């Protein structure tokens, strides 16, 4: 091979290796060492949110803290979207190691997955257009169009309680519901207050408001595959530490700053991390919304 041919071969080899380095997988997959895959929401600003390669929100802060206590650095985390309707399947199939995605602990879910926590208490509320004075509480939803997300407890609550008088539109994500609300396709969006507050401030462009009258108690847990006794214990220890060393409050304040949201002080922060044996999954009476 003459010198030119050698140089061409060398250049081609360099291109091939460059493509191999950058062409496959995300940056997190290139880092050596063990990985942990964590399910979060991608469309809930302040709770679980993806923007470019940045992952933010209170759930993400909690997940990061827990992962660190389990021995994983940020670079060892693979973030995976966990839409409401897919959470149980993601855990059952082993697609994620744990889920921190505004995931309420319920008796039904406990039949198929286990929970660590709780790490937060929210309440189901309503998001409406700021100039709409006709909806002051859930009672005013009669004859209105209401958006809710498939697979959420919020969707179940509206089906059980408002179904006769309210036109329910079920969509796959929260971003879609907000778009429908702004465009006038629906009159209200319902889910947990902390999620609605984040959506109103980051996506509402000043035209949306949260009613501020929560009508359920949502007990957020970290979902794990059924039978993960050891992992649950480790996660619970991490959560207890996150509350006691002040990181929990710091994260919550930072992630909700700039919104009008103030978490329920009677319920928060959690003091017992006993999701596994607690029966505290009961929803509050939604009769007022009927």
Where along the sequence are the contacts to ligand GLU (CB under 6 A)?
84, 101-104, 149, 152-154, 191-192, 195, 218
Choose between 28 and 168: whose C-beta lies nearer to ligand GLU: 168
Give the alpha-carbon dihedral of 167, 172, 178, 181, to 10 degrees: -20
**Closest distance between ligand GLU and the C-beta of residue 134, in Å?**
25
**Closest distance between ligand GLU and the C-beta of residue 40, in Å?**
10
271, 236 contact by CB (below 8 A): no
Q: In whole angstroms, what is the distance from residue 116 CA to residue 276 CA?
A: 7
- Give kind and range of the element (H or E) at residue 279: none
Q: In whole angstroms, what is the distance from residue 282 CA to residue 279 CA?
A: 7
**Closest distance between ligand GLU and the C-beta of residue 30, in Å?**
31
Q: If 0-12 CB within 10 Å is exposed, 13-18 middle and 19+ buried, where does residue 188 land?
A: buried
Choose between 49 and 72: whose C-beta lies nearer to ligand GLU: 49
Taking alpha carbons only, the member of 60, 207, 69 closest to residue 127 is 207
**Closest distance between ligand GLU and the C-beta of residue 31, in Å?**
29
**Closest distance between ligand GLU and the C-beta of residue 133, in Å?**
27
Choose between 86 and 201: whose C-beta lies nearer to ligand GLU: 86
Choose between 29 and 107: whose C-beta lies nearer to ligand GLU: 107
Taking alpha carbons only, the member of 133, 129, 119 closest to residue 238 is 119
Choose between 152 and 259: whose C-beta lies nearer to ligand GLU: 152
**Closest distance between ligand GLU and the C-beta of residue 88, in Å?**
11
3-class DSSP string for 140-175: HHCCCEEEEECCCHHHHHHHHHCCCCCEEEEECCHH
Choose between 72 and 149: whose C-beta lies nearer to ligand GLU: 149
- Nearest position to ligand GLU, beta carbon: 152
Crossing angle for the helix pair 247-256 and 193-203, nearest 10 degrees?
40
């Amino acid at each position: 091979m003459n010198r030119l041919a050698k140089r061409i071969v060398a250049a081609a080899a360099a291109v091939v290796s460059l493509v191999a380095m950058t062409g496959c997988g995300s940056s997190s997959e290139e880092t050596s060492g063990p990985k942990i895959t964590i399910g979060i929401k991608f469309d809930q600003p302040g709770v679980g949110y993806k923007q470019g390669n940045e992952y933010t929100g209170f759930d993400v802060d909690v997940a990061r803290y827990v992962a660190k206590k389990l021995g994983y650095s940020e670079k060892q985390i693979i973030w995976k979207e966990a839409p409401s309707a897919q959470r149980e399947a993601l855990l059952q199939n082993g697609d994620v190691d744990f889920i921190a995605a505004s995931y309420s602990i319920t008796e039904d879910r406990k039949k198929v997955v286990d929970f660590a926590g709780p790490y937060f208490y929210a309440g189901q509320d309503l998001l409406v257009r700021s100039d709409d004075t006709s909806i002051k509480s859930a009672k005013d939803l009669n004859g209105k169009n209401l958006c809710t997300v498939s697979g959420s407890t919020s969707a179940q609550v509206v089906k059980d309680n408002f179904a006769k008088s309210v036109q329910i539109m079920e969509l796959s994500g929260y971003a879609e519901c907000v778009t429908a609300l702004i465009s006038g396709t629906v009159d209200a969006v319902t889910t947990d207050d902390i999620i609605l507050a984040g959506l109103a401030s980051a996506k509402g462009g000043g035209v949306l408001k949260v009613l501020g009258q929560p009508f359920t108690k949502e007990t957020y847990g970290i979902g794990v595959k059924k039978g993960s006794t050891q992992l649950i214990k480790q996660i619970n220890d991490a959560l207890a530490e996150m509350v006691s060393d002040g990181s929990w409050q710091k994260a919550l304040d930072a992630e909700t700053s700039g919104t009008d949201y103030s978490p329920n002080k009677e319920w928060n922060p959690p003091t017992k991390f006993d999701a596994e044996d607690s029966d505290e999954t009961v929803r509050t009476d939604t009769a007022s919304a009927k």
